[in-house]
A and B are shown apart, each in its own frame.
Chain A
């Protein structure tokens, strides 16, 4: 009896010691994402469980996209970001420029149902330097307390119809997604958007369409702005990331309505800047957070679709309300009827030139 007690206490004590030494060995990593409701969903679904599991700490930082900070840090040889949530076209470009660590997709864990990672991830979500976590979408939304839902906008063309729906519009201050949006509103079929945008006439056509509402546009840059613009009554409708609008509706009871027609969906991916001081830990976090359960868990905080097929069946309701998350996802069949996937190759090729023209157009 006594002996077993002694044994037990020794085991407990050594266990404690091991735990403390583990905690001492544990490190901090800096995880950078887009802020607001989106970062919050990641904190709940990825950060907290990972910190609880490994004893490491996470410093969470916000940014507004783009690769400027990564480039500056890598070129200065002082990398303080360990893992960053980026858009696909930025991931590809930064990878090509050698700014990112390569990621071996075969190291990723299998899905919860036993599917190999390579088969479990949706097509096009695994890249040399990046692993996707979610599918998100640019949609437009309006305030149903100002415009009644019955006669509210139904199609992307309505967004550009100032006569039927007078008032200010919110658009992202970036040619990306605005040009696609304009073409679809001008009657171009979703599947032809990039083909037409590849011609000079197509670009002219898109800018001409944007011209028709230019004087009524308020430009936004951070993802948290559009719901705020709607709530403040600064705009009657605005493009936005679908999860931000959903969270304003579900979390803050705002009377916003999403119009899925003409949605432009895209991926967000984790990348590790080259020369990260905590590469191993960052990689561990990446593997953990893109696992079946964390991805499914994130979907209960924000309406972004998980990048793994095996997460799909686990997606349930909003974390504290009786709202089915499935139909809120960009990938829900009803939402995909008239939609286009952001063409990263087109934007990698044309971003510089089109930004130049977009800036000239804005200032003119």
Chain B
């Protein structure tokens, strides 16, 4: 029965003027439209790929890529992998090592020099750089085997199996070493992963500090922004416009200017301390240290990030009709109860948007802590910058950046579970 109906429907399918079934024709037209819409977004897609996907991809790749060994010692890098890590490697391995070093020394190609290898090995075995560069300078004297003896003659330290174990690891194309370093771990002499010495632990605690300070900053932003946004949304137009300009003016001012303004205000010879000393609250030689520490970072970051909390809150509060509160009051609710049970729940999408924005922005904040953070007020981004600009360990910087990215994604996911991203409202 149903089969015959279906057959009948097929034969009766409505045709368009050019004889194609209408359904098919419709699908074709919508596909065309969709293609056109996609073409319109193409510049944006390309922009996102070039400015977002590729750099992040490159960062992730750099954090595991380990080219020094195979770049500088191409033959040796393959041979050493067969070594059983007992005693010293065999003569052919030494021969390859010496010849590769001679080659690298001769070509002096950027990124493929003995110095690059020395730098890489020095990350895992501090204090060995001069062994490599020093040997590199003398390596051309070695003209014939046995190469093991020749190398040991240049420097006795080559007798240490730990160096060869490290070289074996360094010669692999990919390495977890930078992630280990970023999580305060290292290889011990046997090649096992162990926690770094206490005195050298810095990253995990700094990740913790970054999250903790971001939470504090978000909290203060919320406390300060809520009443301001409420005023903005309830005051008469004229007054609220003026207030809005007061909120937006700093928002439009350069970050750098605002941070330096805080330096002028908070430093020991600054405005606040001068006033305190002038009115006699503080003695001249015991001025309060309010900047170049965590306090300075928190104060200036709260100020800088405040608009990111105020604006979403305001846009949500603006849509809450004042009559709701009046209704709640007229039904006998106390002001507190009416606020708690009627007004506040309606502001949650704004709060959610504001806190997410401020929190994620603070996690990656760089300029302000760099300028006013002193030594204990710096965040993880400052350590990343240190490795990119100063120590030149770009791979470690990349690993730290990748971990930071994962942390942000995890927070986003938790947030989505708790609040629901679709409930966010930026106005």
Contacts and interface: CB of A to CB of B under 8 A. Distances in A.
Interface of A: 66-68, 71, 74-75, 92-93, 95-99, 207, 218-219, 232-234, 274, 345, 348-350, 352-353, 355-357, 359-363
Interface string B103-123: 000001111111110110011
Contact of B389 (A68, A92, A234, A274): A68
A214 to B, nearest CB: 9
Contact of B126 (A93, A207, A274, A350): A350
Contacts of B201: 360
A219 B376 CA distance: 12
A243 to B, nearest CB: 24
Contacts of A71: 392
Contacts of A219: 374-375
Interface stretch (B3-11, B29-37, B129-137, B410-418): B129-137
Contacts of A355: 390-391
Given A67-B392, A353-B126, A363-B202, A75 B378 contact: no
For the complex, would chain A's binding face be called helix, strand, loop or mixed by DSSP majority?
helix
Nearest to A128: B137
15 contacts: A68-B388, A75-B111, A95-B115, A97-B113, A98-B109, A98-B112, A98-B115, A98-B116, A207-B199, A348-B129, A348-B130, A349-B127, A360-B200, A361-B199, A363-B378
Interface in B281-327: 292
B118 A234 contact: no
Contacts of A68: 388-390, 392
A355 B390 CA distance: 10
A92 to B, nearest CB: 8
Interface in B235-283: 268-269
B116 A97 contact: yes
Contact of A359 (B126, B202, B269, B392): B202
Contacts of A93: 115, 119, 129
A361 B202 CA distance: 9
B383 interface: yes
Contacts of A363: 202, 205-206, 375-376, 378
A263 to B, nearest CB: 25
B70 interface: no
Interface in B370-386: 374-376, 378, 383, 386
A359 B383 contact: yes
A28 B129 CA distance: 37
A71 B115 CA distance: 13
A66 B392 CA distance: 9
B127 A97 contact: no
B128 interface: yes
B166 interface: no
Contact of B122 (A98, A345, A349): A349
A349 B115 contact: no
Contacts of B206: 363
Given A219-B375, A349-B129, A363-B375, A66 B390 contact: yes
B128 A98 contact: no
Contacts of B123: 352
A264 to B, nearest CB: 19
Nearest to B126: A353
A97 B115 contact: yes
A349 B199 contact: no
Given A98-B115, A363-B376, A356 B128 contact: no
B393 interface: yes
Contacts of A99: 110
A67 B392 CA distance: 8
Given A357-B200, A360-B200, A363-B376, A98 B108 contact: yes
A74 B392 CA distance: 13
Contacts of B114: 96
A362 B390 CA distance: 16
Contacts of A345: 130
Q: Which of A234, A345, A348, A362 has the most chain B CB atoms inside 10 A of its CB?
A: A348
Contact of B199 (A67, A234, A360, A362): A360
B392 A96 contact: no
Contacts of A362: 375-376
